[in-house]
Structure 1
Amino acid sequence: MNRVVITGVGIISPLGNDVDTYWSRLVRGESGISVIDTFDTTGHKVKIAGLVRGFDADARFGRREARRLDRFCQYALAAAEQAWNDASLSPEQLDPERLGVYVGSGIGGLQTLMEQDALLLERGPERISPTLVPMMIANMAAAQISIKYGALGPALSPVTACSIGNTAIGEAFRLIRSGGADVIIAGGTEAAVTEISLASFANATALSRRNDEPARASRPFDAERDGFVIAEGAGVLVLESLEHALRRGARIYAEVIGYGASSDAYHIVASDPEGRGAYRAMKQAIREAGISPEEVDVISAHATSTEVGDKAETMAIRKLLGEQASRVPVTANKSMLGHMLGAAGGAAAVALVKTLQEGIIPPTINQESRDPDCDLDYVPNAARKADLTVGLSNSFGFGGHNAVIVLKAYRD
């Protein structure tokens, strides 16, 4: 079995469009949530989101090419380019048949579909773009990255809702570990802050309605949480066999040592209220990693800021860690980012890589009112320095999909 390491990271997010900016703002506990100004929210119950700011697609791709890419593909390509460059990869170092892409999206090109549907109603079928389908289908992010880098190995787009990033990273880890690839670009992307998705999530009473104080709206584990905040972006990593990375003299950030996946088999949107599926995924991940619960130093929680979900995840962590649960810090990046849906796991993985590398745990902000059902150490409101070796990252999705990865600090 090959050891699998992370040699490159890339991010597009509400907290910044490069890793340094993203990480520094996470550590400072800044919120990336703001009032929506990208479309008219008159009549909407919810008017806030975690928006990607300062992203100029025309400058990155050229105006003609940008018009052929839905935003979820634009974000994925930009994050993948960062990760590729960060890993210092070059074609002459690679066997293209052993280079893969595992990047998924939960919703795909929803904005493009909405725009073309409006055009159909207004001007008729002759005006519909022939590029509609290839712009909106969820596999296109992986396809576009594969085309850009000449990746002739597997190009997959896992669709496991909000656990996509961890599913992609975990499945890529297993393929490299088994010898099926040398390098895989893996992660998730999403651009679903649209009128229709905002209305649907709001009507399902899933979203926070703190419209007048967006920075305080996402508050995982806090007693006054009232739902998640929808967000957008992409998080992408380069995974590589240790042998391949050492052979080309790559800088190594961290090692992937375990992956666990499960299904709640409970409800299409609600978490199992006792966190049983989450527990099974975490347990499987640490078993595959060959570690005991006592060796876990930090947990990056899924923690969307919903009443049932945060409580269930707390229960699952307590069951996994037992008596030491109260001593293991748990951080919730969504308190600052909002919920990036299919991009959430990739963004969390980038943050966990930096956490292990720097020995700093980003805070869970907006911890103001204690919930007796959420009684772990959530690193409240201020970052914390710590000696860290092993971190778990949790991602859970609609339909009961659970995916957990275990990362380990890489020591020469």
Structure 2
Amino acid sequence: MTTNANQVHALETAALIKKAQETLVANDLGGYTVPTHGLYPFQWNWDSAITALGWKHFDEPRAWQEIEVLFDGQWDNGMVPHILFHQDSTTYFPGPDIWGSDKRVKSTSISQPPVVATVMKDMLETADNKVLAVEKVKSLFSSLVDYHLWWYKERDPLKTGLVVSYHPWESGMDNSPAWDEALHDVPCVDWEYERRDLGHVNSAQRPHKSEYDRFLFLVDFFKKHKFDSEIIFNECPYKVNDVGIISILHRGSKDILALGETLGIEDARLNVIAQRIALTESAINTLWCPDAEYFYCRNVLTDTLCKVRTSAGMLTVFANLADEKQTDILNSKAKQWNEASKFCMASTHPEESRYEPQRYWRGPIWLHINWMIALGFEAEGFQETADKLRNDCRALVDLSGYYEYFNPETGEGCGGKDFSWTAAIALHWLL
């Protein structure tokens, strides 16, 4: 760059940093951050973890508070719910009355990808205030272990090495085409309801009613069976090995062991986590399709792979679950994938018949997913792939600002505006 170009770039970056910080402050409800007002008026599990990474860059105590408030809603069995309903709101459906949990903090009865352990390790390693960071990790460590053990005990009681998910919302990738067949076998709910999301966002960017009918049937199913984990495991009409959850859980479990070692924490339960890590590593290749040379999710009830290429399969590199040969193959596929749309990486491969560039998880780009994928390729020495992801994500933010997700063909911002985790990942990764 020339000197003038450097100056312009520096000014643009400074403006984006300021806007990102303002976005988090505006979405702060006093200890937790909503993803965006109106559309998502509560505390979401993996949103909060990612958002803490953004707070860390200008307010470390507030970043740790985000994590602490998330764990305030932890169930006695160790689960950290996917939504915590700290206060009432009329702008979101389904709310706490539909979920029906009776916990101290009202919540949903499912979880979300457990990225919080990886975030906490990053926050400790990069902390300016090391004393505070060590204190916070030590105070949260036992709860963090409980959370991962919940995944292993409740969602893989048969010790297959691959946890199951009971709801597309649990994956965080709500209407991914990977769930189409499994979701189709779920009955539709038999009562009328009014969605609130369509009052905030164009329906072309949101899941279809046929998907919502089944989402809500599952919510009713959990409530009907009083959240009994044994009954749900045996009878849930939706059971999927989500390679995204499996990868994020695996990476997080290894990060828990690293945190324990760094801080000299002795906890016998860490041996169980180490055993489960080994189990997952021995089982992951059952999700590898040799013909397609790709990691897919699996419909557990039919024992069939969900053969649609979504970015979740790339998270195996982030988790170091793909072996050397597989990683090399995935890097080649990532390059081709990234060239298939103007911006990358689309959440569903642009050559898939079910690809929709503007509809939520059926095509749009999500910055936090691309951050994890880039981390994985960078660690494996594929810097060019990591840089492509980073540069395209920066270009999206330059073009459209801090939207929930982005159209990979046009770069248009979609979904919620002034979105917390997009601003946070920009602060942490792009700026």
TM-score (norm: length of structure 2) = 0.31
Q: Which has the higher contact order (CA 8 A, sep 6+)?
A: 1
Larger strand share, 1 or 2? 1
TM-score, scaled to structure 1? 0.32
More helix by share: 2
